[in-house]
């Protein structure tokens, strides 16, 4: 469940460019915004039915405790951007993560400290 | 177990073959001779001060130091604290000849420090007229685990140019745990032998007897001739703590050059009587101490070879640097008495230096009958060695072949007027560690002359260190084979040349102590002979002070590393030696044994122990090393050092080892058949738990497995209990046993695999199962982790630099219980601050948990005992800064960037 903090950051990330947009000046987006634009674009490539290998083209596994059925990813270019993805695992009894696991559910992109344990 | 060392003196064997043969000239290159090598033993490392075992202090004392004062004589006590790691509080006391005890002001002597107490001033302070004719002895009390002091008493008559020195020895009463040097017993009487000689026709002598006990003692002094014919005897009655000075009137009519012996006999306690003797001629200013053999040597069935040296014997015109009056010439002397029971063969050898090169001359052997005395005609011997016109100093080595300890020696140099007497202390030559001079002085016209000789047939490097109030000064000494060096301490002080540490001796420093050691450490084994005497040209006096040798005081075997010592595993054990200086060293190069090899074995040569079964055994390690002997200060030719057997023991507990408990969980209200596997269980190992509610019914038990049924009461608390196996009083380390409720819950959480990742991470996989055996039954449950960082609940946790990372504190992650497991990556920070790097570290606590909505309101329950994750930045032995992470016994590290 997304926390209030996560939700706030999510809203800031998604609505921020709109709130601060000034049509008269047509400013260049800040570098942080450009990263978010790219993150959103890459996030948009994730589709249910895709494989874990495809997810890992754009996102890296977060540290800490993980499971094959539900795995947290961080954006490869910014570890504070997370997405949680559920998989249909290729081998249910296997505790390792398989590149052929199928994506079943994708969370919103959200900001959070990375897990390092 | 702590064990005081027993000073079991070894004969002076190491130099045994040094002097076989007869040759003159360079001491090197004689194919017939066996070379005497310098010690090349590895230097044992030093224990950190915090790890040096501290023994409980006991009240102890040293006694002796005959003193006498009158209108001319002044007496003083010189103390040297042999401890380099601690000061020591001392309570001095004087016993007057009538047995009265007077306590003097207490004092504290700094580490390796010295202190001098004037007996005249102390008595005056007590209201006792110091110009009266008084005599007695000294007692020094202190609280320590051994006798770390070196104490000498000097009685000087500057008017008549006489001086006598006497050392203190451990009190028999206070040192019951030590094997004291005791006189030999002849015909049921404690027997001390001495030697006298008449340097002039007017020389007379005295023997001072002090009774250190609380009972009266009757003693007898017998004077004998050089052939042991009786000359006279005196009976002496000593009251408790009383002192009597007996004039040796028998010597008066004897001519110049006569020699002979003394025998002092007394009944009762072996160390009750303290004996000092002196020879003097007030008309010329001649004085010398009478050597006494006041201890018994171990019996030897075969003759042994021992070598003694008399260093720095002066011959010919006095060295101008010594500032004696013009025209002063010295003649060396050497007096020998065989105090043993059998014939002794003596072989003299001269060693001297010419133009910086060592020279030597072996002289013909001669025989000395039991209890006979002889004055060596050194001028004639020097002439025969080609040194008839030699002006300088020579070293005389005397090899004695016969029963150990037979030779009693007196040596020195005396001027043509018998006024300046340089008495030297004959010393045994033997491998040692550091040696100390207890006192030197350059004040009030004094100077201290030091002679160092390398008895080996190869060069040796030493460090001679002058210790004084507020500092030290190191002098490197390189001595070629058989070479000697003689120097005055005043020259070193006046030189004002910075030593290797940049230290100089302040000009105001006039007294201190000194030490000679190897260049690597004080406990480095060396072969060296050293003597020192403090002379005063104006007073025409020359005194010796104590030269002591460092040595082991006690030794023990440690508890091994890794600790605890477990069955089926090896631990490395060390023998630790604690030295008289307070320093500790350790080694595994000893001879090792185990008292119970069914409990543990130990490698006989390197101290590697292997646990066999639960229980306790004793490891014993022994080696030959320098053993501390606090009798060094007495004028007895105690070999310094006393090489002896250093032996330490350690009571070693071997713990059984559990490798698995299967299954490692059980539901409340059930009985679970369990197999515990491991090592060292014996045949009757017992299982116990850290909590209550579980009872054990045993099945088969052997050394490597226990089968049992665990009956878990319904009221048993859900969670983890520690399981231990105890055998012969030794409990294993804990294993986990999970108590689960009577519903489907996650159990048997365990690590499946571990690996190290290239980025420095530790990578684990964990798995769990359902208590029902069906994972789908865990649909109401979650499994997760909580990771707590320092300063929780402050969040985020900012990792210490140079680690650049922030993490939620705690980090909480959870997953459906129906999953079966997954990976856990414990990683390095995302980045690092720029170099230069510095050390930093922190630990986190990882807690795996479960919760089920149908149990206890979904509250979190422990799934596995807490795990510590430690991270640190450090400079590795290869010189690179690295990130390191440790968890569950695994470790990974990675080099930081930019290096």
Best residue in B806, B822, B831 for a mutation probing chain A (most A CBs within 10 Å): B822
Residue B500 forms part of a structural domain: no
Per DSSP, B561 falls in state B
Mean pLDDT within B213-238: 96
Check residue B894 and give its pLDDT.
98
- Indicate whether B353 pLDDT > 80: yes
Point out the residue among B805, B813, B821 whose CB comes nearest to the CB of A64. Answer: B813
B159 and B184 belong to one structural domain:
no
Residues of A with CB under 8 A from a CB of B: 61, 63-70, 72, 79, 92-93, 95-97, 112-117
B93 and B203 belong to one structural domain:
no
Edge-to-edge order in the sheet of strand B762-770: A64-65, B821-826, B762-770, B746-756
How far apart are the C-alpha atoms of B431 and B450, rounded to whole Å?
A: 19
How many CB atoms sit inside 10 A of residue B326's CB? 7
Closest CA to B649 of B559, B712, B732, B572: B559
Q: CATH no. for residue B803? A: 2.60.40
How far apart are the C-alpha atoms of B623 and B587, rounded to whole Å?
A: 10
- State how far the alpha carbon of B441 is from the alpha carbons of B465, B544, B845, in Å: 15, 11, 63
B541-566 b/e (C-beta count within 10 Å ≥ 16 → b): bbbbbbbbbbbbbbbbbbbbeeebbb
Collapsing DSSP to helix, strand or coil, B405 comes out as coil
**Contact B820/A95, CB-based, under 8 Å?**
yes
B764 and B879 belong to one structural domain:
yes
Check residue A8 and give its pLDDT.
42
> Where does the pLDDT of residue B304 fall: very low under 50, low under 70, confident under 90, or very high at 90 and above?
confident
> Where does the pLDDT of residue B5 fall: very low under 50, low under 70, confident under 90, or very high at 90 and above?
very low
Point out the residue among B752, B816, B846 whose CB comes nearest to the CB of A95. Answer: B752
Q: Which residue of A has its CA nearest to B789?
A: A117
Mean pLDDT within B85-99: 97
Residue B396 forms part of a structural domain: no
Q: Which residue of A has its CA nearest to B843?
A: A117
How many CB atoms sit inside 10 A of residue B274's CB? 25
Check residue B24 and give its pLDDT.
31
Residues of chain B with Cβ-Cβ distance to A117 below 8 Å are 785, 787, 811, 824-827, 844, 846, 869
Point out the residue among B784, B806, B825 whose CB comes nearest to the CB of A63. Answer: B825
Whether B586 and B577 have beta carbons less than 8 Å apart is answered as yes
How far apart are the C-alpha atoms of B372 and B358, rounded to whole Å?
A: 33
Kindly give, in sequence order, each residue whose CB lies less than 8 Å from that of residue B205, ignoring residues fewer than 6 positions away.
Answer: B196, B247, B248, B251, B277, B278, B279, B280, B290
How far apart are the C-alpha atoms of B701 and B697, rounded to whole Å?
A: 11
How far, rounded to the nearest angstrom, does the alpha carbon of residue B86 sit from its chain's CA centroid? 14
> Where does the pLDDT of residue B641 fall: very low under 50, low under 70, confident under 90, or very high at 90 and above?
low
Domain edge (last residue) among B655, B671, B695 = B655
B675 and B645 belong to one structural domain:
no
Interface predicted TM-score of the whole assembly (ipTM), two decimals: 0.81
Q: With left for phi above 0 and alpha for psi between -120 and 50, is residue B338 left, alpha or beta? A: beta
**Contact B824/A96, CB-based, under 8 Å?**
no
Supply the mean pLDDT for chain B. 91
Whether A114 and A62 have beta carbons less than 8 Å apart is answered as yes
Residue B436 forms part of a structural domain: no
- Indicate whether B347 pLDDT > 90: yes
B415-437 b/e (C-beta count within 10 Å ≥ 16 → b): bebbbbbbbbbbbbbbbbbbbbb
How far apart are the C-alpha atoms of B590 and B62, rounded to whole Å?
A: 33
How far apart are the C-alpha atoms of B704 and B544, rounded to whole Å?
A: 67
Closest CA to B830 of B796, B804, B869, B811: B804
How many CB atoms sit inside 10 A of residue B133's CB? 11
**In terms of DSSP H, where are the helices of B26-168?**
119-125
Size of the A and B interface in Cβ pairs below 8 Å? 85
**Contact B815/A92, CB-based, under 8 Å?**
no
**Contact B826/A116, CB-based, under 8 Å?**
yes
Residue B348 forms part of a structural domain: no
Q: CATH no. for residue B677? A: 2.60.40.10
How far apart are the C-alpha atoms of B695 and B689, rounded to whole Å?
A: 9
Residue B856 forms part of a structural domain: yes
How far apart are the C-alpha atoms of B238 and B66, rounded to whole Å?
A: 15
How close is the nearest chain B Cα to the Cα of A107, in Å? 15
Domain edge (last residue) among B295, B324, B356 = B295
Q: Determine contact: B868 vs chain A, CB below 8 A.
A: no
Residues spanned by the domain of B145: 56-171
**Contact A116/B816, CB-based, under 8 Å?**
no
B855 and B772 belong to one structural domain:
yes
Check residue B322 and give its pLDDT.
81
- Indicate whether B760 pLDDT > 70: yes
> Where does the pLDDT of residue A1 fall: very low under 50, low under 70, confident under 90, or very high at 90 and above?
very low
How many CB atoms sit inside 10 A of residue A10's CB? 15
Q: What percent of chain B has pLDDT over 90?
A: 82
Whether B89 and B60 have beta carbons less than 8 Å apart is answered as no
- Indicate whether B93 pLDDT > 90: yes
How many CB atoms sit inside 10 A of residue B218's CB? 13
Whether B481 and B454 have beta carbons less than 8 Å apart is answered as yes
Kindly give, in sequence order, each residue whose CB lies less than 8 Å from that of residue B625, ignoring residues fewer than 6 positions away.
Answer: B551, B552, B577, B643, B644, B646
- Indicate whether B180 pLDDT > 60: no
Whether B552 and B577 have beta carbons less than 8 Å apart is answered as yes
B713 and B789 belong to one structural domain:
no
pLDDT in tens, B406-423: 999 999 999 999 888 888
B803 and B715 belong to one structural domain:
no
Closest CA to B313 of B335, B328, B332, B330: B332
B786 and B683 belong to one structural domain:
no
Best residue in A63, A76, A81, A94 for a mutation probing chain B (most B CBs within 10 Å): A63
Model pTM?
0.81
Q: Determine contact: B827 vs chain A, CB below 8 A.
A: yes
How far apart are the C-alpha atoms of B269 and B289, rounded to whole Å?
A: 25
Check residue B633 and give its pLDDT.
60
Structural domain total, chain B: 5
Residue B327 forms part of a structural domain: no
pLDDT in tens, B145-172: 999 999 999 999 999 989 999 989 888 6
How far apart are the C-alpha atoms of B617 and B596, rounded to whole Å?
A: 5
Point out the residue among B813, B830, B844 whose CB comes nearest to the CB of A65. Answer: B813
Residues of chain A with Cβ-Cβ distance to B848 below 8 Å are 65
How far apart are the C-alpha atoms of B104 and B445, rounded to whole Å?
A: 28
B646 and B681 belong to one structural domain:
no
Residue B400 forms part of a structural domain: no
**Contact B813/A70, CB-based, under 8 Å?**
no
Q: Which residue of B has its CA nearest to A112?
A: B808
How close is the nearest chain A Cα to the Cα of B868, in Å? 10
Check residue B643 and give its pLDDT.
81
Point out the residue among A61, A97, A117 whose CB comes nearest to the CB of B811. Answer: A117
How far apart are the C-alpha atoms of B737 and B141, rounded to whole Å?
A: 59
What B876-885 contacts at long range (C-beta under 8 Å, 24+ apart), as own/partner pairs, is B881/B835, B881/B837, B883/B760, B883/B803, B883/B828, B883/B829, B883/B832, B884/B760, B885/B760, B885/B761, B885/B762, B885/B826, B885/B827, B885/B828
The partner residues of B280 in beta bridges, in order of sequence, read B204, B287
Q: Determine contact: B22 vs chain A, CB below 8 A.
A: no
Lowest mean pLDDT among B281-285, B569-573, B656-660, B794-798: B281-285
Q: Determine contact: B42 vs chain A, CB below 8 A.
A: no
pLDDT in tens, B530-547: 999 898 888 877 887 788
Q: Determine contact: B864 vs chain A, CB below 8 A.
A: no
**Contact B811/A64, CB-based, under 8 Å?**
yes
Q: Determine contact: B779 vs chain A, CB below 8 A.
A: no
Q: With left for phi above 0 and alpha for psi between -120 and 50, is residue B138 left, alpha or beta? A: beta
Residues of chain A with Cβ-Cβ distance to B813 below 8 Å are 64-66, 72, 115
Q: Which residue of B has its CA nearest to A96?
A: B822
Point out the residue among A68, A114, A116 whose CB comes nearest to the CB of B822. Answer: A68
Check residue A12 and give its pLDDT.
42
**Contact A96/B823, CB-based, under 8 Å?**
yes
**Contact B830/A79, CB-based, under 8 Å?**
yes
pLDDT in tens, B50-75: 999 999 999 999 999 999 999 999 99
**Contact A117/B825, CB-based, under 8 Å?**
yes
Point out the residue among B813, B815, B816 whose CB comes nearest to the CB of A115. Answer: B813
Check residue B271 and give its pLDDT.
83
How many CB atoms sit inside 10 A of residue B55's CB? 15
Domain edge (last residue) among B248, B268, B295 = B295
- The upper half-sphere exposure of residue B788, i.e. CA atoms within 13 Å in the direction of its Cβ, equals 9
**Contact B807/A66, CB-based, under 8 Å?**
no
Residue B14 forms part of a structural domain: no
> Where does the pLDDT of residue B742 fall: very low under 50, low under 70, confident under 90, or very high at 90 and above?
very high
Point out the residue among B767, B816, B825 whose CB comes nearest to the CB of A64. Answer: B825
Higher-confidence position of B891 and B132 = B891
Check residue B620 and give its pLDDT.
98
> Where does the pLDDT of residue B632 fall: very low under 50, low under 70, confident under 90, or very high at 90 and above?
low
Q: CATH no. for residue B161? A: 2.60.290.11
Collapsing DSSP to helix, strand or coil, B691 comes out as coil
- Computed on alpha carbons and rounded to an integer, the radius of gyration of chain B in Å comes to 36
B799 and B884 belong to one structural domain:
yes
How far apart are the C-alpha atoms of B669 and B743, rounded to whole Å?
A: 11
Please tell me whether the peptide bond between B663 and the residue prior to it is cis, using omega within 30 degrees of 0: yes
B730 and B689 belong to one structural domain:
yes
Mean pLDDT within B351-362: 94
Whether B227 and B292 have beta carbons less than 8 Å apart is answered as no
Residues of chain A with Cβ-Cβ distance to B785 below 8 Å are 64-65, 117
Whether B390 and B315 have beta carbons less than 8 Å apart is answered as yes
Kindly give, in sequence order, each residue whose CB lies less than 8 Å from that of residue B315, ignoring residues fewer than 6 positions away.
Answer: B330, B331, B332, B378, B379, B382, B387, B390, B391, B392, B393, B394, B413
B638 and B663 belong to one structural domain:
no
Mean pLDDT within A30-50: 92
Best residue in B815, B832, B844 for a mutation probing chain A (most A CBs within 10 Å): B815
């Amino acid at each position: 469940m997304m926390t209030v903090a996560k939700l706030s950051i999510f809203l800031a990330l998604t609505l921020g460019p709109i709130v601060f947009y000034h049509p008269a000046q047509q400013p260049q987006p800040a570098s942080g915004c450009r990263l978010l634009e790219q993150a959103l674009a890459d996030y948009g490539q994730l589709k249910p039915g895709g494989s874990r290998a495809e997810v890992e083209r754009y996102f890296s596994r977060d540290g800490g405790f993980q499971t094959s059925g539900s795995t947290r990813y961080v954006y490869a270019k910014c570890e504070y951007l997370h997405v949680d993805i559920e998989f249909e695992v290729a081998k249910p009894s296997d505790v390792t993560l398989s590149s052929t696991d199928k994506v079943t559910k994708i969370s919103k992109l959200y900001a959070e400290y990375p897990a390092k344990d | 177990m702590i064990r005081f060392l027993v000073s079991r003196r070894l004969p002076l064997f190491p130099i045994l073959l040094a002097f076989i043969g007869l040759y003159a000239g360079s001491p090197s290159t004689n194919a017939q001779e066996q070379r005497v090598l310098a010690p090349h033993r590895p230097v044992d490392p030093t224990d950190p001060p915090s790890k040096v075992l501290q023994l409980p202090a006991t009240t102890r004392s040293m006694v002796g130091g005959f003193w006498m004062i009158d209108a001319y004589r002044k007496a003083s006590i010189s103390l040297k604290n042999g401890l380099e790691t601690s000061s020591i509080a001392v309570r001095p006391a004087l016993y007057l000849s009538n047995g009265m005890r007077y306590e003097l002001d207490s004092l504290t002597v700094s580490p390796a420090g010295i202190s001098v107490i004037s007996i005249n001033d102390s008595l005056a302070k007590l209201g006792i007229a110091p110009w009266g004719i008084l005599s007695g002895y000294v007692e020094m009390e202190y609280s320590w685990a051994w006798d770390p002091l070196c104490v000498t008493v000097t009685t000087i008559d500057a008017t008549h140019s006489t001086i006598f020195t006497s050392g203190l020895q451990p009190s028999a009463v206070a040192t019951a745990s030590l094997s004291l040097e005791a006189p030999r017993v002849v015909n049921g009487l404690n027997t001390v032998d001495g030697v006298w000689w008449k340097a002039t026709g007017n020389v007379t002598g005295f023997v001072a007897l002090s009774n250190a006990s609380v009972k009266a003692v009757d003693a007898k002094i017998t004077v004998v001739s050089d052939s042991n014919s009786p000359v006279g005897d005196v009976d002496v009655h000593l009251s408790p703590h009383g002192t009597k000075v007996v004039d040796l009137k028998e010597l008066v009519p004897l001519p110049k050059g006569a020699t002979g012996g003394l025998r002092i006999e007394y009944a009762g306690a072996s160390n009750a009587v303290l004996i000092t003797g002196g020879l003097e001629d007030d008309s010329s200013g001649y004085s010398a101490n009478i050597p006494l053999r006041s201890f018994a040597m171990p019996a030897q069935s075969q003759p042994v070879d021992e070598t003694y040296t008399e260093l720095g014997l002066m011959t010919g015109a006095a060295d101008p640097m010594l500032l004696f009056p013009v025209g002063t010439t010295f003649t060396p002397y050497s007096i020998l008495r065989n105090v043993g029971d059998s014939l002794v063969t003596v072989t003299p050898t001269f060693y001297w230096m010419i133009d910086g090169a060592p020279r030597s001359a072996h002289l013909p052997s001669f025989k000395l009958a039991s209890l006979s005395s002889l004055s060596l005609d050194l001028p004639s011997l020097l002439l025969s060695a080609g040194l008839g016109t030699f002006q300088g100093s020579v070293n005389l080595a005397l090899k004695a072949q016969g029963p150990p300890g037979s030779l009693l020696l007196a040596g020195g140099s005396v001027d043509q007027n018998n006024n300046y007497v340089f008495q030297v202390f004959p010393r045994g030559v033997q491998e040692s560690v550091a040696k100390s001079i207890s006192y030197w002085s350059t004040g009030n016209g004094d100077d201290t002359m030091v002679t160092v000789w390398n008895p080996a047939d190869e060069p040796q490097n030493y460090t001679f260190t002058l210790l004084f109030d507020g500092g030290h000064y190191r002098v490197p000494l390189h001595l070629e084979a058989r070479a000697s060096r003689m120097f005055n301490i005043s020259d070193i002080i006046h030189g004002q040349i910075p030593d290797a540490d940049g230290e100089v001796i302040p000009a105001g420093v006039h007294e201190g102590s000194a030490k000679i050691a190897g260049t690597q450490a004080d406990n480095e084994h060396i072969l060296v002979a050293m003597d020192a005497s403090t002379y005063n040209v104006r007073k025409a006096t020359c005194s010796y002070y104590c030269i002591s040798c460092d040595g082991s005081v006690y030794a023990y075997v440690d508890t091994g590393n890794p600790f605890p010592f477990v069955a089926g595993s090896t631990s490395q054990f060390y023998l630790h030696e604690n030295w008289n200086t307070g320093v500790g060293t350790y080694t595994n190069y000893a001879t090792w044994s185990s008292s119970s090899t069914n409990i543990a074995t130990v490698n006989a040569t390197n101290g590697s122990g292997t646990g066999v079964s639960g229980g306790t055994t004793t490891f014993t390690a022994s080696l030959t090393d320098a053993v501390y002997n606090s009798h060094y200060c007495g004028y007895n030719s105690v070999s310094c050092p006393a090489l002896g057997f250093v032996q330490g023991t350690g009571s070693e507990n071997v713990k059984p080892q559990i490798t698995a408990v299967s299954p490692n969980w059980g539901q409340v209200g059930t009985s679970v058949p369990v197999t515990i596997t491991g090592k060292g269980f014996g045949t009757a190992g017992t299982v116990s738990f850290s909590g209550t509610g579980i009872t054990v019914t045993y099945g088969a038990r052997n050394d490597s497995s226990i089968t049992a049924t665990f009956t878990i009461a319904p009221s048993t608390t859900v969670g983890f209990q520690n399981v231990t196996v105890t055998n012969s009083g030794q409990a294993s380390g804990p294993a986990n046993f999970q108590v689960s409720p009577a519903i489907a819950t996650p159990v048997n959480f365990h690590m499946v695999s571990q690996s190290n990742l290239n980025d420095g991470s530790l990578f684990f996989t964990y798995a769990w199962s359902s208590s029902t055996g069906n994972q789908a039954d865990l649909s109401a449950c979650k499994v997760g982790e909580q990771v707590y960082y320092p300063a929780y609940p402050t969040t985020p946790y900012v990792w210490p630099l140079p680690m650049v990372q922030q993490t939620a504190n705690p980090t909480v992650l959870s997953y459906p219980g129906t999953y079966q497991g997954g990976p856990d990556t414990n990683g390095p920070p995302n980045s690092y601050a720029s170099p230069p790097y510095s050390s930093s570290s922190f630990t986190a606590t990882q807690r795996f948990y479960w919760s089920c909505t149908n149990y206890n309101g979904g509250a979190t329950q422990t799934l596995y005992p807490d795990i510590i994750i430690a991270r640190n930045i450090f400079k590795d032995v290869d010189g690179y800064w690295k990130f390191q992470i440790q968890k569950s016994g695994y470790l990974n590290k990675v080099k930081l960037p930019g290096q």
